[in-house]
Structure 1
Amino acid sequence: MTKTPAKIKLPLYSAADRDNLRWLWASYLKKRSPWLLLVLVMILVQGVVYQQFLSITEDGLRVIFDNGTARELAMVCVVVFFLFAVRGAMGYLVPRLTVWVSNSAIFEMRRDLIGHMMDLDLAYFERTKSGEIIQRLVTQTQQLGQFIGLSTANALRDAVTVVIVSAYLIYKNPLLFTAAILVLPFIIRVMNFVSARVKQVQGEAEHALGDYMNGIEETVSGMRTVKISSQEQVEAARLEKATGRIRDLAARVQLTQALVMPSIDLSSAFVYVLVIGGGGYMVLSPAFDVDGAGIITFLLGMVLVFDPARLLAQYLGSLQAHVVLLDRVRGLFHERPTITAAPGALATFDTGGDIALDQVRFSYSPDQPLFDGLSMVFKGGQVSAIVGATGSGKTTILSLLSRLYDVQGGQITIGGTAIDKVQLRALRGAFSVVAQDIVIFNNSIWENIRYVKPEATDDDIWRAAENAEIADLIRARGDAPVGPKGAQLSGGQKQRIAIARAFLVDAPILLLDEATNALDQATEARIKSALTRLTQGRTTIVVAHRLASITDADSIHVLEAGALVEQGKHGDLLKKNGHYARLYMAQKQSQASN
């Protein structure tokens, strides 16, 4: 008979949790410790006010019970009003200061997150859901800011109130207070149970929320496909299912936290009954020097203790949830870029030299190698084309040249200098790229062109726009935004924005990745002369699917399944009647039939 393994009880705060909390303090809060100390002083004042309130109240009750004068009672009322005025002032200043401190800390955290994220490799963004990144940068940091600001300040105020008032009650009646706190172990046990459950469910809820946000982003981005394929109900059902999971997980967190208040309320009732009964006995018994005013004040003090204790218990329960958030936010800092400049990397290199791939090996996954010893040379100052079937590695070569990915064997050189010996900014600054995935911002066409070179003059931008055959569209649209991701533009108009950017950057090496694939033949013919001027004197590498657009290239490299199978000029490759010739003739016949 097999035995069921014993359930391992995990610590409430793991070593990682403690490390994250130390990181938060050292990185963003320690530098603000003078302001936090001021907040602590004001919170201590609030706690002392409650203690003094109890003392003055006891004196006021004795004035009433012992036939004091109206003047004495009036003085008690004035002092009580002054005490609560002081507490009110502190209650206004503490939130203002803590909100300022927490907002400043979260601003720095977001700034650091964004800066770190920008240094990460392209591979990170390709394997990470965009919804997860947005969730970390927006939602989770905001929740952390609220927690370390007002929530923590209020919890500290409650803790100080509990300590100071409890100390006063111990001073007044240690026997009665000791009896009253017999319930404390039960409360601690309940809080440990709740905190552990909240931490577990909160982690699941954060993952579910990240998936939900990513699903929304995918649906909105693909709305054209959703509409065309009439899949609105399918998408709505998918998002509704994710919404239901978030609802269920949130309910589990809230139901678990809901156990805290009834438990403490029942404990409070037990304590109040104990104080009333035990204290009443002390008043009636001649063995104790306790009067009615003292017991009423003690009972009022217990109320002042248990109310902030309830709030403090809520805070400790939610602390586990926010420890999970902190771990997820800091997780982005644990990501490390693998593509970095070597020590002593060069700031300049021969950008006009030959670009050579020497026995390059690369794969996106270990079980699917793409290049295994690929060697090819792109002559400096010439136009070279790369052609081949989809998946043959054409675009990957461009990514390797600009070190969006690093080779896993062999090397790539430009002008005889290995590209991993060059500073990344200098290397990528040598390229002007027109890629097939064009990034268009919801701004004017003019600003979209200026994006790649903010310091460009108006004349430079107009010249680039004229060369790309998009100047007339700029005049027609003016400063009108083009919609999210350029939704108001055609594919050809987006492509011409990308081409205008290439004209504007004016880099020595030009990479054209399907640069004219979204253009009709008439438009392509209009900008072909401009593209010819752009390539003069520059090393140009063209990735093309439409072979008719690269017939004038100085050299054409034909890839098949990651291997170089042919190389030469257009005419020479046709004479070989090989792979390139078959591709060219197939496309020519297809165009003729259309």
Structure 2
Amino acid sequence: MKRRAPWLGLVLGMILVQGVVYQQFLSITENGLRVIFEKGMMRELLLICVVVFFLFTVRGLMAYLVPRVSVWVSNSAIFEIRRDLTTHMMGLDLAYFERTKSGEIIQRLVSQTQALGHFIGLATANAVRDLVTLVIISGYLIWKNPLLFTAAILVLPFIIWVMNFVAAKVKRVQGEAETALGQYMSGIEETVTGMRTVKIASQEDMEIARLEKETARLRDLSLRVQRTQALVVPSVDLSSAFVYVLVIGGGGYMVLNPHFDIDGAGIITFLLGMVLVSDPARMLAQYLGIVQTHLVLLDRVRGLYFETPTIVDAPEALTEFDTGGDIVLDRVRFSYSPDQPLFDGLTMTFRGGQVSAIVGATGSGKTTILSLLSRLYDVQDGQITIGGTPIDRLRVRTLRSAFSVVAQDIVIFNSSIWDNIRYVNPDATDAQIWTAAENAEIAELIRARGDTPVGPKGAQLSGGQKQRIAIARAFLVNAPILLLDEATSALDQGTEARIKSALTRLTKGRTTIVVAHRLSSIADADTIFVLEAGQLVEQGGHAELLAKSGYYAQLYQAQKQGDSDG
């Protein structure tokens, strides 16, 4: 908003014009009443009517321009808030997104920024208009009759007390309401995302009941907020009624008493001024009543800025390194929670240009190693080097650009297959995309589907087709280090066999690290690392590990028995 100071100054100027118009209206009205009651001159009365009409024409023009400019300013501010929030959010660590519900993030970027922008722009401009009107007319009334005005504002301490009471209560309840809304939005997203499971398990009634419970909580909290805010207007109205009675009674006494220099026209004008003040006062009171609500929203939105990334470029970070060198984990220590270390002194070496595989039971740390290599997380002790260069000495973007990833959980957008492949390299030429598609054996499907969207999260594609999109992306990126994270674990053996030829072409000439559950798929790996509970228990070739009759041999035999039983 600071960058828009000239426009805000223009809005303030137009608001001042509105306030002056009201003050001039009161002054001219008083003169008009005296013309009617005392002079009886038609010409002066007609002139007063023309001036009054002109004044309200000016006020009408200002009433049109103020919200137009205010809305433009607020919408521009909303755009910049969302842009800055998105930019900041994209720089946060993966850990933030794993501990924060997506509904809370969506709420901050959508509804809370919208409400803040409207409040700061239009609502605040209206409040400033009401305040200016209140000050100018009150100043005029004080100048006309300070004694009567002083008596009329005796009720002000009561109004202030009501405002403080309402503000404190609204802030507390609004905080609860915003938390409940975030949970409700997260609940909706979870239900929609897991709709396949909901349908198969016939749990529609349970989901309805769960969301209805959250909705009921939102309703109750909203009613509490509105019930508290509803105290403001009647309190101000009752105070205004007291003021009117005081002005009529006290003013009438002054007119009847010869010791006071005031006539009937002055009292009527004073009463009209109080009427003109009451509406801005009521609107200003409502504004002050919702200030606390929007301060809560402001805290929630600013809370995203309080999140700071820990994975950042080191001073004088390097932009070049030996991408074909060995990848070494040297006495690495890492844990997701302080009391449960996953790795404690893990040492591994992935040879450059070779295919290495990581196997082990669920939770042994296989995927975590890939996350550490690409600095989605940082090690807590020890170090990781590529070609002898510590990865924390590299620019994060430089490091990650050296990796291509094919994972089991593939992000597919609701656009064409062509656009989904191009996503990882928007500057790629059509020839490069076709080459990647041919290598991934998905070119024929592109020709068959054309520009047809694949549905939300690729709902119209099979698991094998999604995998081939991921492989085509890896071909298009053409990075020197390839990470395969359970890339074929969700596929049947027939589909896996068709995709394996594409993966063979993809791994050629690259340093490849494969995380695999199906041990038969990594039998050709140069080196296999076997993890158990975060510790490296075995390593070697497939035949070598089988000959040892150790943990790997047990896993292999168990899977082989399971496949034969199936």
**Fold agreement, TM-score > 0.5:** yes
Which of 15, 21, 27 does residue 49 from structure 1 map onto?
A: 21
Deviations 1:294-329 (A, max 9, x none): 111100000011110000000001001001100110
Alpha-carbon contact 1:362-1:370 (below 8 Å) kept: yes
Report Cα offsets for 1:366-408 as digits up to 9, x if no partner. 1221111111100000000111111111100000000000111
Q: What aligned pairs does 1:540-555 form with structure 2 within 5 A after superposition? A: 540-555=512-527
Partner of 2:211: 239
Query: Does structure 2 retain, via aligned residues, the 8 Å contact 1:176–1:279?
Result: yes
Return the alpha-carbon distance in structure 1 between the equivalents of residues 442 and 495 of structure 2. 10
Q: 1:281 maps to which residue? A: 253
Contact 2:468 2:499 in 1 (8 A): no
Q: Say if 2:95 is the partner of 1:112.
A: no
Whole-angstrom CA distance in 1 between matches of 2:229 and 2:559: 67
Could you give the per-residue CA deviations for residues 347-371 of structure 1, whole angstroms, max 9, x where no partner exists? 0000000001111111111122111
Aligned AA (2:213): K
Residue in 2 that maps onto 1:467: 439
| Aligned residue number for residue 357 of structure 2 | 385
Residues 1:433 and 2:405 are matched in the alignment: yes
Aligned equivalents of 1:30 and 1:461: distance in 2?
Answer: 46
**Does 286-295 or 406-415 show the bigger shift?**
286-295
The answer to whether 1:449 aligns with 2:456 is no
Q: AA paired with 2:292?
A: Q
> 2: distance between equivalents of 1:39 and 1:400?
53
**1:501 corresponds to which of 465, 473, 481:** 473
Counterpart residue number, 1:103: 75
Count, aligned residues: 566
Partner of 1:180: 152
Structure 1 residue matching 2:557: 3-state secondary structure: helix
Q: How far, CA to CA, are the matches of 1:114 and 1:399 in structure 2?
A: 23
Of residues 416, 428, 436 in structure 1, which corresponds to 2:388? Answer: 416
Counterparts of 1:534 and 1:235, CA distance in 2: 43
For 1:117 and 1:488, how far apart are their aligned partners in 2? 30
Conserved? CA contact 2:410–2:466, under 8 Å: yes
What are the superposed Cα offsets for residues 529-554 of structure 1, whole Å, 9 maximum, x if unpaired?
Answer: 33222212110000011111111111
- Residue type of the alignment partner of 1:231: Q
Distance in 2 separating the partners of 1:556 and 1:550: 8
Give the SS at the match of 2:489: coil
Counterpart position of 2:228: 256
CA distance in 2, matches of 1:249, 1:593: 56
Q: Supply the RMSD in Å over aligned alpha carbons.
A: 1.0
2:377 aligned residue: 405
CA contact (8 A) 1:554 1:569 kept: yes
Paired residue for 1:374?
A: 346
Residue 106 of structure 2 is aligned to residue 167 of structure 1: no
Letter in 2 for 1:498: A
Corresponding residue number in structure 2 for 1:567: 539
Residue pair 2:21, 2:55 contacting (<8 A) in 1 also: yes
Q: Which amino acid aligns with 1:295?
A: I
Select 2:4's aligned residue among 32, 48, 51: 32
SS at match of 1:66: helix
Shift of the alpha carbon at 1:519? Answer: 2.7
8 Å contact 2:330–2:383 — kept in the other structure?
Answer: yes
CA distance in 1, matches of 2:125, 2:257: 43
Query: What is the alpha-carbon distance in structure 2 between the residues aligned to residue 396 and residue 160 of structure 1?
Result: 61
User: How many angstroms apart in 2 are the aligned matches of 1:477 and 1:239?
Assistant: 37
Aligned with 1:479 (options 439, 448, 451): 451
Matched to 2:547, the amino acid is: K
- The superposition leaves residues 198-230 of structure 1 with CA deviations (integer Å, 9 ceiling, x where unpaired) of 111111111111111111111111111111111
Unaligned residue ranges in structure 2 (runs of 5+): none
What are the ranges of 5 or more consecutive residues in structure 1 without an aligned counterpart? 1-28
> How far 1:67 sits from its partner (Å)?
4.2
Structure 1 partner of 2:285: 313
Of 352, 358, 361 in structure 1, the residue corresponding to residue 330 of structure 2 is: 358
Alignment-derived partner of residue 555 in structure 2: 583
Contact 1:436 1:515 in 2 (8 A): yes
The CA distance in 1 between the partners of 2:33 and 2:340, in whole Å, is 85
Whether the aligned pair in 2 keeps the contact of 1:574 and 1:581 (CA below 8 Å) is yes
Q: Distance in 1 between matches of 2:496 and 2:243?
A: 86
Query: In structure 2, what is the equivalent of residue 344 of structure 1?
Result: 316
Aligned to 1:91: 63
- Alpha-carbon distance in structure 1 between the residues aligned to 2:232 and 2:504: 74
Amino acid at match of 2:308: R
Taking the aligned partners of 1:529 and 1:499, their CA distance within structure 2 comes to: 11
CA distance in 2, matches of 1:98, 1:232: 45
In 2, distance between residues paired with 1:538 and 1:80? 84
- Separation in structure 1 between the aligned mates of residue 504 and residue 196 of structure 2, nearest angstrom: 35
- CA distance in structure 1 between the partners assigned to 2:291 and 2:8 by the alignment: 19
Contact 2:464 2:499 in 1 (8 A): no
CA contact (8 A) 2:32 2:48 kept: yes
1:574 maps to a residue whose letter is L
Query: How does the TM-score come out when normalised to structure 2?
Result: 0.99
- Check conservation: 1:499, 1:515, Cα contact below 8 A: no
